[in-house]
Structure 1
Amino acid sequence: MHSPQHRLVKCVALALAVLLLSVAALVPVSALEPYGNNIRIRNWVNNDPAYTFSEQYMTSVWYRNFSALALTANPRNNVLRIALSQLGYHEGDSAKDFDGMNKSGSSNYIEYARLIVPNYNDNHYEWCACFVNWCLNQARIDYAYGEISCWKWVEWLKQNKKFQDSYAYGGDYTPQPADMIFFNWKGVNTGSGHIGYVLYVTDTTIFTVEGNTKDEVGIRSYALDDPCVIGFGTPDYEKHAGENAEATIDFSCRDGMPMGRYILTKDRVALSSAADKNDRLARLQFGSTVVLLGTDGNKAHVVSDDKQGWVSSASLQLLDTLPSVTFKADGKTVGQLPFEKGVIYGDIPAVPEKAGYTAAWDSYTLDRSDVTVEPVYTPIRYTVTFVADGKTVATVSFTAEDMSITAPEVPAKAGFVGTWPELTIPLADTTIEAIYTAVTESDAPTESGTMVLPIATSTASDDTGTDKPVDGCASVVGLLPAVILAGLCLPLLVVPILRKKKY
């Protein structure tokens, strides 16, 4: 039997413990590490070194999704991206199920409880509030209530003026992305039995991401005036925002699906080789991620690991937007591809060809911003070789940007008149051979010599009679019009015949 003094000591100790618990349960993590139900919360804001992920969880697609994320300056984006990265994670029946793959598990064993409260899983607690805390901790937001309880969350938020009543209970607040949403399934505002995050809102509907909804992490929707929705928690996210924070992501994709990383919201989604085909390259798991390249109707062109293919757009939820590389030539977009961590997804388009030039995309650097790339066109230098009687007389060159050459004098040949043939020269290396014609008495003497043959843009008259340039075509001024070969306008060089004096 204990003495009265011993009982007095115990009573005082118990009173002090209750007082400490009461204070801790009402302050942010940054002020005092809170305790709830005598269970210590592992605070990742302070990077608690005692915690590491379980081996089981680290083998899962959800760990891969989570670890691929990088925190940005926008806390709302961070919280929702972390929550969405866990879509499809299912509770298990023991610690071996921390990988989230036991689809029949029903005993509330989850990785998220390992992080926040030791021995939480052994007590089989419901875990919706635990998941909310986990996402806040992972987003490095020092804002967490010390007790894993939906209703205690509501009380704490109201005391700190961070709670808004829903439409069903007289409120006029429009919930924002990453706000907490509280439920009472009996449709009365006397307590809360479930919590999640607001994902986005339409004119009539709230879309949410929640833990412990049908024993997994999932997306749900509710009418704005649903009496089961009692209100919203509004953490001071802006306090935690960094400089030059990016805009909050529109996870609804109401204005179209942007390039980015998406997460599968259904299981065994077929990946087909084309938008109009029903073949099956692979089956994609609920919770796995793909990168969107584009859409065609209700089909999405995606990259899944090392495969490209098409899936139903309805099976995708935006997880994160990605910067893109836009390839442009002559002011027109040739292609656009997303990139991530220096890796471009999809096939880089070919550079549009340009007659008389070699082409390559200019060099570029991939960081976290959109990039526009233009081609570099380098003129090809072509040669024209003048040959007479099998011997090279001269070799001249020209490019698409300098298309004039000087024809050399035809070498004299006794008893013959020498001329260069009149012909057209395409953008290619060309050999021209002299033509010698035997002299007759009727031939009139002519002067021989060299001639500069410029090539300039051809003209065509419009309805007013005004000369207009013909784009992409060229010819010798005053000699021949531009020639269209095989449907292409090719710059041509015309070499006239030069006659020699009669001997």
Structure 2
Amino acid sequence: MGSQKDVLSDTTEYLSCQRKRARWHKMMKRLIMLIVLAAVGVFTFFHAKEWYTVRKSVSGVEIEFKTEWENAAEQVNLTGDWSEDVLALAQSQLGYSESNDADWSATFVSFCLSYANVEGFPVETDCNQWVQKLRENEYGAYREADEYTPEPGDLVFFDMDDSTEQKIVDHVGIVVDVMSDTGAASVKIKTIEGNSNDCVQYVIYDQTDARIIGYGKLPEETE
């Protein structure tokens, strides 16, 4: 009988240890999962608001972090004239290029609008969706290319592919100047764009360039 009791005791103790070990493993798995989720949450929190991360194009490798390009934007003295302020912010980023291969022209323009404190105007990261929003009655800010003469500070939307009959907006910039010399064959539009040859730079187009689809008119400043 003693031997049987010993066996039962040992078995009970063994099963108890196994249960404790199983519970411990289960708790560790949950803990690891929570740590991973927390890490993902922290990463998302710190990076979700970053419109874009840029690097100096002259070096090709030197990364400019969020604080650096924010500092460049914060050096701009805002006047309260949204068109002027958007252009000034865009020009503060000239010569910089994105650190990834994604299309970032819309995020660059949205960055400028955001830091210029433009109100009553949507921001977007998708050019085609942006145009659809601007067409809505809520904004009424979209202008067809063949029906409008742009002004500095306007957004200009492009179909850079221009290979199909159906126009798909896939790029956006900011109008810097509209140049119409008397002897010129056509009116020229000077823009500043992100994701143009992988950097922020000036570009000049004929106003009649078939790739230009339309414009986004900024709202008037509030008093």
- Higher strand fraction (1 or 2): 1
Determine which structure has more spread, i.e. the larger CA radius of gyration: 1
Alignment partner for residue 84 of structure 1, among 88, 91, 104? 91
Alignment CA distance shift 1:220-1:78 (3 Å):
same
What does the per-residue CA deviation read over 1:219-267, in whole Å, with 9 as the maximum and x for residues that have no partner? 001101010001101121x133x5xxxxxxxxxxxxxxxxxxxxxxxxx
The answer to whether the 8 Å contact 1:180/1:197 transfers is yes
Paired with 2:79 and 2:89, the residues of 1 have a C-alpha distance of 12
Ranges in structure 2 where 5+ consecutive residues have no aligned partner? 1-46, 52-62, 181-186
Offset at residue 186 of structure 1 (A): 3.5
Give, as a single letter, the amino acid of the residue that structure 2 aligns with 1:90. S
Paired with 1:176 and 1:189, the residues of 2 have a C-alpha distance of 26
The answer to whether the 8 Å contact 2:106/2:124 transfers is no
Alignment-derived partner of residue 75 in structure 2: 68
The answer to whether the 8 Å contact 2:142/2:214 transfers is yes
Alignment CA distance shift 1:41-1:64 (3 Å):
closer
Alignment CA distance shift 1:230-1:81 (3 Å):
same
Offset at residue 64 of structure 1 (A): 5.2
Q: Which stretches of structure 1, 4 residues or longer, exceed 4 Å deviation after superposition?
A: 40-44
* Matched residue SS, 1:239: coil
2:143 is equivalent to residue 164 of structure 1 = yes
Alignment-derived partner of residue 218 in structure 2: 235
Alignment-derived partner of residue 193 in structure 2: 210
Alignment-derived partner of residue 180 in structure 1: 155
How well do the aligned residues superpose, as a CA RMSD in angstroms? 2.6
Match runs of 1:438-477 below 5 Å: none
Alignment partner for residue 116 of structure 2, among 132, 139, 156? 139
The answer to whether the 8 Å contact 2:189/2:206 transfers is yes
The answer to whether the 8 Å contact 1:133/1:144 transfers is no
Alignment partner for residue 56 of structure 1, among 50, 65, 90? 65
Match runs of 1:307-386 below 5 Å: none
Alignment-derived partner of residue 151 in structure 1: 128
Paired with 1:239 and 1:217, the residues of 2 have a C-alpha distance of 26
What does the per-residue CA deviation read over 1:60-96, in whole Å, with 9 as the maximum and x for residues that have no partner? xx5554232111121111000000110001112xxxx
Paired with 2:206 and 2:64, the residues of 1 have a C-alpha distance of 40
* Higher RCO structure (Cα 8 Å, ≥6 apart): 2
Aligned length: 156
The TM-score with structure 1 as length reference comes to 0.29
Paired with 1:147 and 1:198, the residues of 2 have a C-alpha distance of 18
Ranges in structure 1 where 5+ consecutive residues have no aligned partner? 1-39, 45-53, 93-106, 109-124, 243-503
Alignment CA distance shift 1:199-1:165 (3 Å):
same
The TM-score with structure 2 as length reference comes to 0.62
The answer to whether the 8 Å contact 1:150/1:194 transfers is yes
Paired with 1:189 and 1:210, the residues of 2 have a C-alpha distance of 24
Counting aligned pairs with the same residue, the percent is: 33
Paired with 2:121 and 2:207, the residues of 1 have a C-alpha distance of 26
Give, as a single letter, the amino acid of the residue that structure 2 aligns with 1:184. D
Paired with 1:132 and 1:63, the residues of 2 have a C-alpha distance of 14
Alignment CA distance shift 1:190-1:64 (3 Å):
same
Paired with 2:125 and 2:118, the residues of 1 have a C-alpha distance of 17
Paired with 2:169 and 2:110, the residues of 1 have a C-alpha distance of 16
The answer to whether the 8 Å contact 1:41/1:146 transfers is no
* Matched residue SS, 1:182: strand
The answer to whether the 8 Å contact 1:43/1:137 transfers is no
* Matched residue SS, 1:126: coil
Alignment CA distance shift 1:68-1:146 (3 Å):
closer
2:178 is equivalent to residue 201 of structure 1 = yes
Paired with 2:150 and 2:158, the residues of 1 have a C-alpha distance of 14
